[in-house]
Amino acid sequence: MTGFSKLNNLYWQIRYTRIKAVRRKYYRYIVKEKKRLIDSGVDAEELRLLCRHLSNLRNEQAELRLEAYRKTLKENRTSGVIFFSDLT
């Protein structure tokens, strides 16, 4: 989550501001941050699911989908690893 701390902060700012112009400003910052993260190699689907979760923390389904996606990513990364014991 450390790579996404700026996004977390921006969504927090949106939730706690009441001025529409300020909210729009933060949404523009979010768009820039998302573009930067995708350009740096972050998985676009994980980023989409994370933003969906951060935009409404009460949405349990969004959180469950994010956790499930991260779990499948982790499984896919470990399934492609060849262990030294497999080679001998």
- 11 backbone dihedrals φ, ψ, rounded to 5°: -65, -35
For 39, other C-beta atoms within 10 Å of its C-beta total 8
Termini Cα distance of the chain? 37
Residues 6 or more apart from 6 whose CB is under 8 A from it? 33
Question: Do the beta carbons of residue 33 and residue 10 sit within 8 Å?
Answer: yes
0.85 exceeded by the pTM?
no
Write the pLDDT tens digit of every residue in 4-29.
Answer: 999 999 999 999 999 999 999 999 99
17-60 pLDDT, tens digit each: 999 999 999 999 999 999 999 999 999 999 999 999 999 999 99
Higher pLDDT, 80 or 67: 67
Distance CA(21)–CA(26), nearest Å, equals 9
